[in-house]
Each structure stands twice: as C-alpha cells, then as structure tokens.
Structure 1
Amino acid sequence: MRHIYRCPLRWADMDAYGHVNNAVFLSYLEEARIDFLSRPDKQFRQGSVVARHEIDYKRQLVHRPEPVDIELWVTEIKAASFTVAYEVKDGDQVCVRASTVVVPFDFEAQRPRRITAEERAFLEDYRDDEEEAVAA
C-alpha cells in the first residue's frame, strides 16, 4: 500500500525560470514523511531523524496552484531504521524519485532506538520491496 500526500506548491518554491527549485524537493519529501508518520492513529511518538536522502530528478515541475501528489511507501525495515521511497508526480509524470533512511530516535535520551512492534506492524502495511524509488 502507498500513502498519498497532496503537497501544496508555494510561490517561494520557484526558481528564476518558474520551476520548483531542486532543493525544495527535500522539504516536500519531509512534509510527506511527517504526514505519513504523524497521523493520530499511527504515530512515531518518540520521534525520528533522517540518516540519508537520495534523490533522482526526472523532470522539472512547473509551479501551479494545484497541489502535487507524493506517493510514499516503505522498502526496507531493519531493527533500528527503515527506508521510505517516494515518487513526486505531476499528473501521471514522475518528476522525482527518492528514498530516505529514517532512524527512530529517543530525544529524551538523545540516542537512536529500536523500532517497536507496533511501529513495525504499521510500516509493514506500507511495505513494497519490489519497487525501488531510486535506481542503483
């Protein structure tokens, strides 16, 4: 299963050519990831941090008033990290494929932590090993 986030585009996201700036895509991925992990029914209550991002830019995204769809799914779950894959889509065109390694984090203890059984069960619902977002 995939999580869909409808990401609003902002005027400040554009570069001088009227395209969404490549650096802004990291913010879009963050918004999608937070929407995915912070839902009231399924929350990583202790927080998480990003260990790695990988982005493959496929085509430019032109600014417009309508939101862009970001599809998000899980490709790998380990004991103390998981990998999220994304596709940023403009209609049926993929603009960006990306992946993020996320590490659950205990901010009170200031250290990484293991994924709980409840979190693992939630992540498994969105697992799709067959489709890697970023080509090797």
Structure 2
Amino acid sequence: MTSEPPRTDGQERFTTPVPVRWSDIDMYQHVNHATMVTILEEARVPFLTKPFADDFATTGLLIAEVRVAYKGQLRLADSPLQVTIWVNRLRAVDFTLGYEVRSVLADPDSKPAVIAETQLAAFDIGAQKLVRLAPHHREYLQRYQR
C-alpha cells in the first residue's frame, strides 16, 4: 500500500498496487470485467482501513452504487494494477470515491484503462440503519476530496 505525497494543487491522491491473478483473466487474456469490482474493493480496503478500523465493530460501510467504465485493455502482464482513489462527493451519511486504474507500466498521468465510482454509506450495524459520518471520518475523506 502506498500513499502519494501531497500534490502541489492541494489535492491528495491515494495510489495502491493490486495484483492481477490468473483467475482474473478471461479467454481473451484481458482482466475480466466481473473481477474489476473486486480489484476496486482490494484498493478501497487499505484506503479506508486507517480512518474506519476502530469503528468497524459498530459502524460499517455499505456499497450503494458502483459504476465502471472501460477505456482500454488490461492484461496479466499489466500486473500489479495501479489504482488511484480520491473522494468525488462527501455528504452527511455517504460519500463517493473515484478510481483510475492503470497498468504498472503506465505513466501515472496517462489515460486510465478504467474509470470507476463507488458510493458508500455509513451504517450502524447494531441498529441496522444509516448514520452520519463521524467527524474524524469526514476529516480524513476531505483530504482526498477533488
């Protein structure tokens, strides 16, 4: 897991490598579209573990929506994929993460092969209802907001 240094434009980005497994490849030798959601999850977990780890017993995160757009090919040789994450939208109960996925061989500023978004909502596990994000969650997420 890596976190890039702060950018000169004042926006932080979180970038982490995610290995491609043989089982992630389809018959055309591309990363299978169905496994891309899992790859996004594998990148999201280290991004959210730090601010949410102490609260996981009581507060969880539910996926409300996932969008994935494919702009190029990814293959086994592109592993590990470089997944960059930022916050697109931050509201009282939910937030939306943006993703760019590139080959390990790609320039970090090149066109991504995959662009995606996930909307997550804070959830009280015991009460089984949506809850507001805690101030320390919001503070962490604001650092990565575009």
TM-score by length of structure 2 reads 0.82
Match of 1:38 among 49, 54, 58: 49
TM-score by length of structure 1 reads 0.88
Partner of 1:123, secondary structure, is helix
Give, in angstroms, the shift of residue 108 of structure 1.
Answer: 1.4
**Structure (1/2) with the larger strand percentage:** 1
Listed as ranges, the matches of 1:16-95 within 5 Å are 16-39=27-50, 42-43=51-52, 45=55, 46-64=59-77, 66-90=79-103, 91-92=106-107, 93-95=111-113
For 1:19-52, what per-residue CA distance to the aligned partner results, in whole angstroms no more than 9, with x for missing partners?
A: 110111100111111111113xx22522201000
Q: Kindly, what percent of the aligned residue pairs are identical?
A: 36
**Structure 2 unmatched runs, 5+:** 1-11
**Between 84-93 and 4-13, the greater mean CA deviation after superposition:** 84-93
**Structure 1 unmatched runs, 5+:** 129-136
Q: Provide the rounded CA distance (Å) in 1 between the counterparts of 2:19 and 2:75.
A: 13
The runs of 4+ residues in structure 1 deviating greater than 3 Å are none
Give, in angstroms, the shift of residue 64 of structure 1.
Answer: 2.2
Number of aligned pairs?
126
**Structure (1/2) with the larger helix percentage:** 2
**Between 87-96 and 6-15, the greater mean CA deviation after superposition:** 87-96
Give, in angstroms, the shift of residue 61 of structure 1.
Answer: 0.4
Give, in angstroms, the shift of residue 107 of structure 1.
Answer: 1.2
Q: Provide the rounded CA distance (Å) in 2 between the counterparts of 1:94 and 1:18.
A: 19
Q: Provide the rounded CA distance (Å) in 2 between the counterparts of 1:118 and 1:29.
A: 23
For 1:84-124, what per-residue CA distance to the aligned partner results, in whole angstroms no more than 9, with x for missing partners?
A: 00000111341100111110111111111111111000000
1:100 corresponds in structure 2 to 118
Give, in angstroms, the shift of residue 65 of structure 1.
Answer: 7.2
1:33 aligned partner, one-letter code? R
1:132 corresponds in structure 2 to none
Partner of 1:94, secondary structure, is coil
For 1:46-82, what per-residue CA distance to the aligned partner results, in whole angstroms no more than 9, with x for missing partners?
A: 2201000111100110112731100000011101000
